[in-house]
Amino acid sequence: MDLEFNKNEDQLKQLCSQLKLKAAKVQQGGGEKKIAEQHEKGKLTARERISYLIDKDSEFLEVGLFAGEGMYAEQGGCPSGGVVAGLGFIKGRQCVIVANDATVKAGAWFPITAKKNLRAQEIALENRLPIVYLVDSAGVFLPMQDEIFPDKEHFGRQFRNNAKMSALGIVQIAAIMGSCVAGGAYLPIMSDEAMIVDKTGSIFLAGSYLVKAAIGEDIDNETLGGATTHCEISGVTDNKFPNDQACLDYIKSLFDKLGSATVAGFDRVRPAPPKEKADEIYGLLPADRAKPYDTLEIIKRLVDDSVFEEYKSLYGKTILCGFARVEGWAVGIVANQRKVVKTKKGEMQMGGVIYSDAADKAARFIMNCNQRKIPLIFLQDVSGFMVGSKAEHGGIIKDGAKMVNAMANSTVPKFTFIVGNSYGAGNYAMCGKAYDPRLIYAWPTAQIAVMSGNSAAKTLLQIRVSALKAKGKTITKEEESQLLQEITARYNEQLSPYYAAARLWVDGVIDPLQTRQVIAAGIAAANHAPIEKFNVGVIQT
């Protein structure tokens, strides 16, 4: 391998190493002391509960691991949003699992917690998957109640989703394994079946202190809303269990008897690894994001047998479209080509930029995948659409709109991976978060923003300097340079994939070698939901 390859490899491996360290820290939740406190109470932690519940030797695909990362510093932080969520298998049945992490602020709900819970429910809804709630939460984090409680996508939306999922026949199982208070008490009781762990689980609309303050009644929490009360007196919960393990064993027994799910019918054959070495991705992706590279070489290291059947290979070359298999599943891939390409007319087109011909090709390919019932994979490394008089006169807006229309109305499941740049309208056209990908993950090399850090910083600097001049103030070259550095640093922080993951703009940050696993888990989930009829609507030609 050449020097450039080795340099690229070193950089990306360092980024992946940093990713593992960050993940390990977040997975500690509230820290060793808080974990020990859970164990002293005879309780498992959220992650231990999930590990015990899922099938041995199966993988748990976590969603929102970095939710809340770097947020809520004044409140002491909220690792992973105080809740663990993802896709797993119980008795061979794929499902969504949501577990409150009581080591983080006693499992209290922050704004990002609500958003993450809703994301988990969205995955269950879209894919018609059973969902398991492992409840252990002190309720809304009161100092931030105005950001959690009243709006459409706030705390209460999850109970609406409980009702909607029930009406759709989506299985919902809940276990009360700690506190479950106030409005949060409705979540397990709106599920199909609710279990409770004796002595550690409790559920009530108002705790003993509030009851005393409101109506003057003296009562302890166990008598008010413990396992014995709700299994023997109120009938609110269905069964009680002596410990976490027994409760989780019962959930396994329920899954063991679930009826078989209907399937969408996506095609799958025996999986095969890529023939090209997958770990060569580390060296193929340039350390300098401005440098071109051949995206086709990345694709060959992601797909089975490294076979990619390209669609319209001689036309619209700044987007690669084609058919392949990933872990046996048939997929259609739409990827930004990052190398400079030459058209038949001898013109040179910049890699990572969407031109009219590429948008036109992608739109047609997306429609074909819907016609053939083939899931779509989007690999983003996009700077945006081509600009300038030639592009405008050539109808770039019309062709871009055609691509967005086809992609937005697509009914086959879509999965998005942000490999590098994800800027401006390019993010939208390549199935960004706003366009309902079933799963969306970023590589450590990803950057997500309206425009690149360099371009944005220069634009913001011009605005700042103009504002100062309007006030009659002058600025020296040295001051201007310092201001540019400050603006660039602040903007670059927002470009980070971890910034996006903290806010759930993406479902997580992954090592590139995990991409095949995510695709396979995502399509397996999507195969549980029937596909709606595809109607692209009005398209300008």
Using CA atoms, how far apart are residues 212 and 221, in angstroms rounded to an integer?
Answer: 11
For residue 13, report the phi and psi dihedrals to the nearest 5 degrees. Answer: -65, -35
pLDDT exceeds 90 at position 218: no
Structure confidence at residue 1 (pLDDT): 59
DSSP symbols for 107-175: GPBPHHHHHHHHHHHHHHHHHT--EEEEEEE--B-GGGGGGTSSSTTSTTHHHHHHHHHHHTT--EEEE
DSSP assigned state of 9: H
Paired tokens of 286: 């340039």
Same domain, 442 and 458: no
- For residue 321, give the CATH number of its domain: 3.90.226.10
- pLDDT interval class at 519 (50, 70, 90): very high
Indicate whether 479 and 381 sit together in one domain: no
**Same domain, residue pair 242 and 362:** no
What's the rounded Cα separation, in Å, for the pair 109 and 106?
Answer: 9
Q: In terms of domains, do 199 and 164 share one?
A: yes
User: Could you tell me if 114 and 195 lie in one domain?
Assistant: yes
For the chain, the 3-state helix, strand and coil shares in percent, each to the nearest 5, are: 45, 20, 35
Closest Cα partner for 302 from 510, 123, 61, 2?
510
Same domain as 82, residue 231: yes
Question: With contact defined as beta carbons under 8 Å apart, do 219 and 202 qualify?
Answer: no
Model pLDDT for residues 29-87, shown as the tens digit of each residue: 999 999 999 999 999 999 999 999 999 999 999 999 999 999 999 999 999 999 999 99
Decide which of 129 and 187 is more confident: 129
Q: Are 312 and 267 in contact (CB under 8 A)?
A: no
328-377 pLDDT tens trace: 999 999 999 999 999 888 889 999 999 999 999 999 999 999 999 999 99
| Contact (CB, 8 A) for 442 and 508 | yes
Mean pLDDT across the chain, nearest whole number? 93
**Nearest 5 degrees, angle CA 178-CA 131-CA 375?**
145
Establish if 396 belongs to a structural domain: yes
Q: Is residue 415 part of a domain?
A: yes
Which token pair is 250?
A: 């019962």
pTM of the model: 0.94
For 121, the token pair is 């429910």
Domain count, the chain: 3
pLDDT at 460: 77
Share of the chain above pLDDT 70, in %: 99
pLDDT at 406 over 90: yes
Same domain flag for 292 and 359: yes
The tens digit of pLDDT for each residue in 450-498 reads 877 677 777 777 888 788 788 888 778 887 788 888 888 887 889 999 9
User: Three-class SS of residue 351?
Assistant: coil
Helix (H) or strand (E) segment spanning residue 501: helix 497-502
Per-residue confidence (pLDDT) for residue 183, from 0 to 100 = 66
User: Does residue 312 lie in a domain region?
Assistant: yes
Judge whether residue 14 has pLDDT over 90: yes
pLDDT at 346: 83
Per-residue pLDDT at 434:
96
User: What residues make up the domain containing 288?
Assistant: 278-446+506-526
For the chain, percent of residues with pLDDT exceeding 90: 76
CA 122 – CA 445 distance, rounded (Å): 27
